[in-house]
Amino acid sequence: MLDTAVIGSGMAGTAVAAELERLGRDYIVLEAGPHQGRAHIAADEGSAHLADPAQDPAFTPFLAQPGTPYGPLSGYRRRVGGRSLYWRGICLRIEDDALREWPAEVRRALLGTDGEPGLYARTEAALKAWSGGTRLTQARTETEEAMAKELAGLGYPAVPTPRAIRTLGQGRWEAYSPVTGLPSERIRTGHRVSAVRKRAEGGYSLILDDGDGPALDARHVVLCAGTVGNIELVDGLVHGQHREPRRYSLVDHVACGMLVVEDGRHGAMESSVHAGFDAPSRSNLIVERQRHGSGVLMDAWAMGEQPPEAASTVLVGDRTSIVLEPPALAALDAVRREQRNLLRELARRTGLKARFREEYVSFDEALAQAEAQPGTAVVYDATIGELDHESGGLPLDGEHVDVAGQLREAPGVAVAGPCLIPRAGAANPSLTTLALARYVVQHMS
Ligand SMILES: Cc1cc2nc3c(=O)[nH]c(=O)nc-3n(C[C@H](O)[C@H](O)[C@H](O)COP(=O)(O)OP(=O)(O)OC[C@H]3O[C@@H](n4cnc5c(N)ncnc54)[C@H](O)[C@@H]3O)c2cc1C
C-alpha cells in the first residue's frame, strides 16, 4: 500500500509534495491531466496566449453545466502543474482584519510569535531566494519604478507589486511553481480520482475515472484537487450517495478596474504597482501598464474581498452547481460601489478623464471603448468566478476540517489549497496556499 497519495498536482499539490519530499516521506502525486512540460506559460512567447482559457486545450470547466457565477471560463488547467504554471506570481498577505477571524493557532503559525518568523515570512524568504532579488517588491522595469514614485507622490503607499517572478528578457518571465523541483517518478498522470473510500482494513481506496480504472490504496491521502474538486471529494467521502444536495460556502474576489489607452512606449515586460489597501472597499489597488499596439494600456484595478455575507453557495448532489443568492448580490453591489469610488479618486488625483457606468461592463467591452477613445478611462467589472481565486468551502477549524488541516471524519486524510481559507480578505490566495501547504504537512501523522 502507498504511504501517501496526493490528489492533484497544481499549486497546493506540488507544494505539499515538495514538503513531503523535504521530510523524506514516501508519496505519489496523482494528476488527472497529462504532462505538458513544466515551463510557466510566460516563459515562452509562443505559450503566453494560454492565459486565456478559451485558447488553452488544458482548460476544463469546474462545472459540468457552468452557471452565471463560475461560468464557462472558470475552471482547471488539467495538466501537471495546474494553475501554478499560469499564475502571475502576485504574493500579498491576507490583511489583519480578515486574519483576525482565523483560528488563533493558524494565525500564530502564519505570522510567527515572540520574534520567531511565521510561515508567511518563511515562504516569502523562500520565494525571494528563488527569484534572486533582494525583495519581492523589486522594480522589474523602469516604468514600474517611475509609476511607484509617481503614485507615492500622489499620496498612495505605492511599491512595485510583490511578485514571485523571474524576468527572462525580451518580455519573458516565469512565476514560481513548486512543480519544477519534483522528481518525475513521483507524478502519475492521467489519474483522475473520482472518489476516496475508507477501507475496512485501514487506509483509503482511491477510485479512478468513475470506477473504470483500477483502485489505488494509500495509508494517507492529501486532497489537492482545487477548491471545487476538494469539496466534491470530501462530500463523497463523508456523505456517500445521499440524494439531498449539501451546501458549501465559496468566495472569489470582487474586482473592478479602469482601462486607458495612452500614447507612448512601453518595453515588452508589463509593469505593476501595488498602490495600497483601501479600507472602505476592503480592496487592494493595483496599477499596471503594458504595451498595446503602438501605444500603452493602463489598467488600474481594485480587487477586494467577496464578503462572507456575499458568498456563493456550492450545491453538491447528483451534479455540482454554484449559485449566488439575492442578499449576496446586494452585498456585492455595495463593494463594487466603493471600488468605483476608489477608482474615481485615482482618476481625480492623476487628472484622468474617466467614464463611469454603474451597470456591469466586461473587460473586453471596456477595452473596445478605451481603444475608441484614447486618453479616456473606461470602467469594467470581473464576474464572480472569473479571477481563479475560488476559496473556502472547507475552512480550517470548520465543520469538516480541523485546525491542523486534517479531515475530522477520516483520520489520515488531509486537505490543502485555498479551500482551507476561513476568511479570504482582499489578497490573492497563493502566498497563503503555499504557506498553508507546509503547515498541513507538518501536522500529518
Ligand atoms: C491566469 C491566472 C493568473 C493567476 N494569478 C495569480 C496571482 O498572481 N496570485 C495568486 O495568488 N493567484 C493567482 N492565480 C490563482 C492561483 O493560480 C490558484 O489560486 C491556484 O493555482 C489554486 O491552486 P490549487 O492547487 O487549489 O488548484 P490548481 O492549481 O488548479 O491545481 C489543481 C490540480 O488538480 C488536478 N485535479 C483536479 N481534480 C482532480 C482529480 N479528481 N484527480 C486528480 N487530479 C485532479 C487538476 O488537473 C490540477 O492540476 C492565478 C490563476 C490564473 C489562472
Report residue 326's pLDDT band, with 50, 70 and 90 as the boundaries: confident
Q: Residue 26 and residue 442: Cα distance in Å, rounded?
A: 15
Q: What is the pLDDT of residues 61-70, one digit of tens each?
A: 999 999 989 9
Pairing of the two strands 216-223 and 2-7: parallel
Residue-level pLDDT at 134: 83
Q: Whose CA is nearest to atom 39 of ligand 1?
A: 225
pLDDT class for 39, splitting at 50, 70, 90?
A: very high
Query: Using a 6 Å cutoff on CB, does residue 428 contact ligand 1?
Result: yes
For ligand 1, whether the C-beta of 143 sits within 6 Å is no
> What gap in Å lies between CA 208 and CA 434, rounded to an integer?
27
Find the DSSP H helices in 159-292: 226-239
Atom of ligand 1 nearest to the CA of 11: 25
Q: Is the pLDDT of residue 133 over 90?
A: no
Q: What spacing in Å lies between the alpha carbon of 141 and ligand 1's midpoint?
A: 28
Q: Is 291 exposed, middle or buried (0-12, 13-18, 19+ CB in 10 A)?
A: middle
User: Percent of the chain beyond pLDDT 90?
Assistant: 91
| Residue pLDDT, tens place only, 270-298 | 999 999 999 999 999 999 999 999 999 99
Cα 418 to ligand 1 centroid, rounded to whole Å: 9
Does the Cβ of 162 fall within 6 Å of ligand 1?
no
53 lines ligand 1 (CB under 6 A): no
Q: Is 207 in the pocket of ligand 1 (CB under 6 A)?
A: no
What is the residue-averaged pLDDT of the chain? 95
User: How confident is the model over 342-360, as pLDDT tens digits?
Assistant: 999 999 999 999 988 888 8
What angle is formed at CA 143 by the lines to CA 139 and CA 144, rounded to 5 degrees? Answer: 35
The pLDDT of 97-118, averaged and rounded, is 96
Would you state the pLDDT for residue 261?
Answer: 97
Amino acid 2 reads: L
CB 178 within 8 A of CB 11: yes
6 Cα–ligand 1 center, Å: 15
Ligand 1 atom 27 nearest Cα: 226
Minimum CA distance residue for ligand 1 atom 3:
87
The predicted-structure confidence for 377-432, as pLDDT tens digits, reads as follows 999 999 999 999 999 999 999 999 999 999 999 999 999 999 999 999 999 999 99
Give the model's pLDDT for residue 209.
Answer: 87
Q: Give the model's pLDDT for residue 240.
A: 85
Ligand 1: centre distance to CA 49 (Å): 17
Ligand 1 neighbourhood includes 225 CB (under 6 angstroms):
yes
Provide mean pLDDT across the span 315-322.
94
Alpha carbon of 84 to ligand 1 centroid (Å):
6
Q: Rounded to an integer, what is the distance from CA 32 to the centroid of its chain? A: 19
pLDDT above 90 for 327: no
**Whose Cα sits closest to atom 24 in ligand 1?**
226
* Confidence class for position 180, pLDDT limits 50, 70, 90: very high
The predicted pLDDT at position 241 comes to: 73
pLDDT for 93: 98
- 200-259 residue pLDDT tens: 999 999 999 877 777 899 999 999 999 999 999 999 999 987 678 899 999 999 999 999
C-alpha cell at 253: 474576489
Q: Give the nearest ligand 1 atom to 431 CA.
A: 11
DSSP-assigned letter for residue 100: T
Pick the more confident residue, 81 or 214.
81
What band does 194 get if pLDDT is binned at 50, 70 and 90?
Answer: very high
User: Residue 265 C-alpha to ligand 1 middle, in angstroms?
Assistant: 34
For residue 190, the CA-to-ligand 1 centroid distance in Å is: 17
